[in-house]
Amino acid sequence: MPENPLHLLMNPKSVAVAGASNTPTKMGSIQTLSLLKDGYRGKVYFLHPKDKAIFGMPAYPSPQDLPEVPDLAFLVVPINAALTLLEEFGKIGTKRAIVVTAGFKETGEEGANLEKQLNEVAARYDIRFVGPNCLGVINSQICLNTTVYPFPPVDGLLGLASQSGTYVTQILPLSRKRGIKFSKAISLGNEANIDIADALEYLGEDEQTKAVILYIEGIRNGKKFLEIARRVTKRKPVLAQYVGGTASGARAGMSHTGAMAGPDFLYDGMFKQAGIIRVGSIEELYDHGWTLATQPMPKGNRVAVMTNSGGPSSSISYTCDLVGLTVPRYSEKLQEKIRPYLQPHAASSNPVDLTFDTSMRNLAITIPEIILQSGEVDAMISHGIMHSGFLREIYSHAVDFLGDMSFEQFLEMAEPVLEETFEIPRRYNVPHLISTFFGQEDYYTLGFQKHNIPVFHSPEKAARAMGALYHYKLIKERKAGRKNALPKISARASNILKQAKQNGQKALDEHAAKKLLAAYGVPVTKEILTESLKEALAAANKIGYPVALKACHWEIMHKSGKGLIALNVKNANELKKAFLDIRRAAGFFTPILVQQMLSGGREFLAGMTRFAAFGPSVVFGLGGVLTEALRDTTVRVAPLTDADAREMLADIRAKVLLEKFRGMPAVDKEKLAKILQALGNIALLHPEIAEIDLNPLIIDKARPVVADALIVLKG
């Protein structure tokens, strides 16, 4: 496997900057000052067509004039100059670049042509680059910062790759206030050369990075991304926010970075398939990512809730239930140990609510240690551990009665910060999250942040973050799927498709579609294609009443509500009438399909469609007349492992219908999963198929059977 291009780009021993000037408010100058002031120890060279010095350091007129070949070229120059300079750096042997310059694909066709030229230059000289239209990178290990915001030296644990520069730069002041520390951060911009899959692979390999977060507007190579993501999530947690799944989000992404978005349900399914945890906001992306980067894996979902107030304890408990966690009632033995440290009216059962207690020892140390020693919980969330923030609030009222006592003197009267507070969770190797309404003005908040214990400013946020941590535990524990080899191409299926192409068809008729499916082991209804009433009557006698009758012609792709279907036909008289009614409704001569009438009470759908960047994807969900109304479906990218298929069955809201239900037996999930795998295989074996729609897929007793099928061909 070739080395990831970001290894050299993120670890340059020398950087050449084009675009800086002696005006410190210009963008190139601001980014250069980050490079110079934040501790980078490599060599920095400046290029400038006129100035002889930049910030007191020598400036050179062109790359050819540099004293050595730099590892990294950093370009913050007009668009035409970027093309010229990349070529010049290529000629001297520089192999990596960051192109901050905007005005490429995100602006339209002309910009896209310029971006193509940029890539052609890079390919000519074997250059790999980040950008264009990006805001640089951060590597905390070597104090490399090429963004517009300061990034003081810090031992970070959270890796970030973003298709928005803002979420690598403007977020930095807030992340410092929240105690979130980045290991590496990469602004990808238009991804003309190095893309988000490359960034994920690099962060997955990086030993310093303990969790990875991704801001995504669109993925250009879905197969590559999925393959890399499945490898990385086995080793470390990956979280993502995707914003291109709506019309407005896709439009904004296209104008922002030229991102090619896809439907929301596709990304939702792909993330699940890859083991990526999807979050709903940028705040959750950082908060949950930091939680997973710093906290040990819980052994289970039992959470201890410790508070000094009833409201937060209820909020935490309620939210825990919503995200798959439990707040178990403690055993009577454990409660007996806790009660001596509580006021008589305080709750001891979990949540433990101390109510108003200004001493932090019981809340922060004594009771947590008793609980953790019991083995009755797997994680802990605490609210209300506070010190200087609270004391400053009451000092403002008490100061008039304290004489000349300063706030610092007032603090000395109070209980000091108890350092043991920060060590207890690690001693027992359990995750510990903090909820507080105080920021860094409170010494406990600062202490937790210093010890990499996540702090949240609402009880619910802490509980949701703990839910993400438990979610990753489930991802780690899920069984690895088996990659089944593609079957041989069926000659029968190939002939069906070849004949349809020769006929100029845009789709297969239902009967031909089912013959193709059956060639790959997909169970279909017993049926006979007929062209006359006599043939139809004979077919019904052979199959056995009741039967279904359908118009069967490739031009009739959708039959419902058009008088082209007759169901539950019980005898010859009903068949004669239905046959003639369908012929009349069709308006032209069409064969009639006589089909066994299945009696199953449960209907699902399965299908395949193709998406740009991802290729064929398999869909499963609730079928029949409720399909469009309830929209209860899930999707995975082909090929499907057996685990992918099983997870699809468990991913719909109506999954209870797959179990024993109202006297009906549990569905044969193994056969149902094999149908989904077969659809993915068919799509990969026959690229001339554009779509497959099996609806309804009826459960006959326990056996899934395809009752109707549509296969659309590529134009």
Work out the pLDDT band at 504, boundaries 50, 70, 90: very high
pLDDT at 1: 62
pLDDT at 116: 94
* Beta carbons of 304 and 350 less than 8 angstroms apart: yes
- Identify the residue whose tokens are 């004669």: 576
Whole-angstrom distance, CA of residue 138 vs CA of residue 186 = 7
* Beta carbons of 45 and 17 less than 8 angstroms apart: yes
pLDDT at 259: 42
* Beta carbons of 328 and 376 less than 8 angstroms apart: yes
Q: For residue 242, give the amino acid letter.
A: Y
The CATH topology of domain 154-294 is Rossmann fold (3.40.50)
Question: Residue 582: is it exposed, middle or buried by C-beta count within 10 angstroms (0-12/13-18/19+)?
Answer: buried
Residues 6 or more apart in contact with residue 447 via CB below 8 angstroms: 417, 419, 421, 422
Average pLDDT over residues 369-386: 97
pLDDT at 398: 85
Read off φ and ψ for residue 255, nearest 5 degrees: -80, -20
Work out the pLDDT band at 254, boundaries 50, 70, 90: very low
pLDDT over threshold 70, residue 31: yes
Per DSSP, the residues of 84-96 read HHHHHHHHHT--E
Whole-angstrom distance, CA of residue 271 vs CA of residue 437 = 33
Neighbours of 630 (CB within 10 A): 15
No. of H helices and E strands in the chain? Answer: 27, 30
pLDDT over threshold 80, residue 136: yes
Read off φ and ψ for residue 20, nearest 5 degrees: -85, 155
Average pLDDT over residues 448-462: 97
- Identify the residue whose tokens are 């579609």: 513
Average pLDDT over residues 282-299: 98
Tokens of 628: 């469009």
Neighbours of 431 (CB within 10 A): 23
Q: For residue 612, give the amino acid letter.
A: A
Work out the pLDDT band at 255, boundaries 50, 70, 90: very low
Residues 6 or more apart in contact with residue 297 via CB below 8 angstroms: 431, 469, 472, 473, 476
* Beta carbons of 439 and 389 less than 8 angstroms apart: yes
pLDDT over threshold 90, residue 395: no
pLDDT exceeding 70 applies to what percent of the chain?
97
Tokens of 668: 């044969």
**Closest Cα partner for 168 from 34, 302, 336?**
34
pLDDT at 634: 95
pLDDT at 343: 85
Whole-angstrom distance, CA of residue 17 vs CA of residue 35 = 10
* Beta carbons of 238 and 211 less than 8 angstroms apart: yes
* Beta carbons of 146 and 170 less than 8 angstroms apart: no
Whole-angstrom distance, CA of residue 453 vs CA of residue 445 = 9
Whole-angstrom distance, CA of residue 136 vs CA of residue 187 = 6
Top-confidence residue, 599 or 580: 580
- Identify the residue whose tokens are 């569905």: 667
For the packed helices 443-450 and 388-398, what is the interaxial angle rounded to 10 degrees? 170
Average pLDDT over residues 587-601: 91
Q: Which of 95-104, 116-125, 405-414, 582-591 has the lowest mean pLDDT?
A: 405-414
Q: Which of 371-380, 457-466, 593-602 has the lowest mean pLDDT?
A: 593-602
Phi-psi region of 258 (alpha: psi -120 to 50; beta: other; left: phi over 0): left
Q: Where are the domains of the chain?
A: 1-135, 154-294, 297-477
* Beta carbons of 703 and 693 less than 8 angstroms apart: no
pLDDT at 653: 94
- HEC string for 558-574: CCCCCCCEEEEECCHHH
Q: How far is CA 324 from the centre of its chain?
A: 19
pLDDT over threshold 70, residue 414: yes
CATH 3.40.50.300 fits 1-135, yes or no: no
Whole-angstrom distance, CA of residue 448 vs CA of residue 386 = 11
Top-confidence residue, 559 or 239: 239
Among positive and negative, which fits the CA dihedral 468, 473, 477, 481? positive
DSSP designation for 133: S
pLDDT at 516: 98
What is the per-residue pLDDT across 50-94, written as a single tens digit (0 to 9) for each? Answer: 999 999 999 999 999 999 999 999 999 999 999 999 999 999 999
Beta-strand ranges (E) seen in 246-355 are 277-278, 303-307, 352-353
**Closest Cα partner for 183 from 163, 205, 149, 154?**
154
pLDDT at 246: 57
- Between the CA of residue 552 and those of 39, 204, 511, 556, 586, what are the distances in Å? 73, 52, 7, 7, 10
What is the per-residue pLDDT across 188-223, written as a single tens digit (0 to 9) for each? Answer: 999 999 999 999 999 999 999 999 999 999 999 999
Which residues on neighbouring strands pair with residue 241, listed in sequence order? 215
pLDDT at 652: 95
- Identify the residue whose tokens are 């407005």: 248
Per DSSP, the residues of 212-240 read EEEEES--S-HHHHHHHHHHHTTTS-EEE
Q: How far is CA 382 from the centre of its chain?
A: 28
* Beta carbons of 620 and 647 less than 8 angstroms apart: no
What is the per-residue pLDDT across 613-650, written as a single tens digit (0 to 9) for each? Answer: 999 999 999 998 777 778 899 999 999 999 999 999 99
Top-confidence residue, 131 or 347: 131
The CATH topology of domain 297-477 is Rossmann fold (3.40.50)
pLDDT over threshold 60, residue 257: no
Which residues on neighbouring strands pair with residue 527, listed in sequence order? 595
**Closest Cα partner for 101 from 80, 132, 69?**
132
Read off φ and ψ for residue 652, nearest 5 degrees: -95, 155
For the packed helices 196-205 and 222-232, what is the interaxial angle rounded to 10 degrees? 10
Whole-angstrom distance, CA of residue 445 vs CA of residue 124 = 53
